[in-house]
Amino acid sequence: MISPRVPSPHGRSRELSLLAALAAILLVLGWKAPRFFAAANLADLATSVAPALVAAMGMTLVILARQIDISIGSQFAVCGVVLGLVAKLGLPVPLAAGSAILAGASLGAINGALVAGFGLPSIVVTLATMVAWREGLRWATEGTWVRGLPESFQWLGLGQKGGRLLIVATAAAVFALVAWGLVSLRAGRSVYATGSDAEAARLVGLRPRRVVFGVFVAMGALTGLAAVLTTLQFIDVQANAGVGLELRVIAAVVVGGVAISGGRGTSTGVLLGVLFLAVLGPALVFLGGKAHWDRALQGAIILLAVASEAARRRGAAHD
């Protein structure tokens, strides 16, 4: 039976089962392939997870508000190119990073205006903007990369070690901020309220349309930041970066237990979902499996996660 003190009707079971699954993978790795825990490999893994976590926090907001954004892969590419071009102008890197984030926020604002302003379904709006931004970028750049970035760009001129630390610390800060905000801020609670029942949220004095607009802007800004954190690791900017990012991020958020029907889910769950899916591929390789099974496995895990959730929901309904 449901205890009134527990904020979510499912308690913490998704987090616990994810934690158990993650622990199981790590145990097997520790036993069969201790090389996985070499400092260099962990640092690699942490650096590659950082941008995904930042984007996933944005997607958490969007899905909690009962929306979806499949344009973030294209937004990611646009922001990366903006970052590269501004950095090439010789402007300081923080300014370039700021403009990339601003570009992301503006693209997000377009999605938000179409969804909240016109009342259009977010899946189709972001499908349209996904195609438009991607093809528009290809048109503008003719598929070429932004090359020859200044020395001070890669790793922010801090060297690989310092740069990595900064990237991981930024992602951790974003995670902490969103996690705290969702629980403790009025804005965070409005996201849950809007996603649970927009009409009820309106009746208690919230403004669901503003909330929806806001989550898309936040999603765009965080996508921009994710592009910055990714691009800083390289010396060139690929114009076709971020293809398929949206589905990877949505998968992590859903596996992390955020309900696609809005209003339910926790930041901790999303963190575990991101980590779980990020560890899965490398673990497969370290355990001697074939890397190209990665995608099939990810798909199977998404289906398993939603199926188990649904089965439990039905079990609860019969109690």
DSSP code string of 133-144? HHHHHHHHHTT-
# chain residues binding another protein, by CB under 8 A: 46
Site for another protein contains 127 (CB under 8 A): yes
Return the DSSP state at 237.
B
Residue 163: CB atoms within 10 A of its CB come to 18
Enumerate residues 6+ apart whose C-beta is below 8 A from 18.
255, 256, 257, 269, 272, 273, 276
* Closest to another protein by CB, 131 or 200: 131
Q: Which stretch binds another protein (CB under 8 A): 79-87, 100-108, 190-198, 302-310?
A: 302-310
Q: Does 6 bind another protein (CB under 8 A)?
A: no
Quote the least distance from Cβ 168 to another protein, whole Å: 26
Spatial contact of 246 and 55, defined as CB atoms under 8 Å apart:
no
- Residue whose CB is less far from another protein, 240 or 268: 240
Does residue 314 belong to the site contacting another protein (CB under 8 A)?
Answer: yes
DSSP readout, 214-269? Answer: HHHHHHHHHHHHHHHHHHTTSSSB-TTTTTTHHHHHHHHHHHTT--TTSS---HHH
Pick from 124, 176, 185, 287 the residue near another protein by CB under 8 A: 124
Q: Does 118 bind another protein (CB under 8 A)?
A: yes
Q: Are 299 and 244 in contact (CB under 8 A)?
A: no
**Among the residue ranges 24-32, 116-124, 147-155, 226-234, the one whose residues contact another protein (CB under 8 A):** 116-124
Nearer to another protein, 129 or 170 (CB): 129
Tokens 């926790």, located at residue:
266
> Is residue 120 part of the contact set for another protein (CB under 8 A)?
yes
Residue pair 51/227 in contact by the 8 Å Cβ criterion: yes
User: Counting Cβ atoms within 10 Å, is residue 3 exposed (0-12), middle (13-18) or buried (19+)?
Assistant: exposed
Q: Is 200 near another protein (CB under 8 A)?
A: no
Site residues for another protein, 252-271, by CB under 8 A, read 254, 260-261
C-alpha pair distances (Å), 202 with each of 68, 113, 198, 209? 20, 18, 6, 9
CB of 171 to another protein, least distance (A): 24
Residue 10 interacts with another protein (CB under 8 A)? no
Query: 311 by DSSP, 3-state: which?
Result: helix
- Binding another protein (rule: CB under 8 A), the pick from 95, 185, 300, 316 is 300
Phi-psi label, residue 313: left if phi above 0, alpha if psi -120 to 50, beta otherwise = alpha
Q: Find tokens 């936040």 and name the residue.
A: 218
Q: Which stretch binds another protein (CB under 8 A): 45-53, 135-143, 188-196, 227-235?
A: 135-143
Contact 197, 263 (CB under 8 A): yes
Is residue 310 close enough to count as binding another protein by CB under 8 A? yes
290 binds another protein (CB under 8 A): yes
Minimum distance, C-beta of residue 75 to another protein, in the bound complex (Å): 13
Give the whole-angstrom CA distance, residue 14 versus residue 19: 8
Residue 295 binds another protein (CB under 8 A):
yes
Q: Choose the binding region for another protein from 166-174, 181-189, 265-273, 295-303 (rule: CB under 8 A).
A: 295-303
Stretch (H or E) spanning 198: helix 198-203
Nearest to another protein of 164, 264 (CB atom): 264
Using CA atoms, how far apart are residues 106 and 102, in angstroms rounded to an integer? 6
Q: Is 250 in the site for another protein (CB under 8 A)?
A: yes
Q: Which residues of this protein are in contact with another protein, per CB under 8 A?
A: 68, 114, 118-121, 123-125, 127-136, 138-139, 247, 250-251, 254, 260-261, 290, 292-300, 302-303, 306-307, 309-311, 313-314
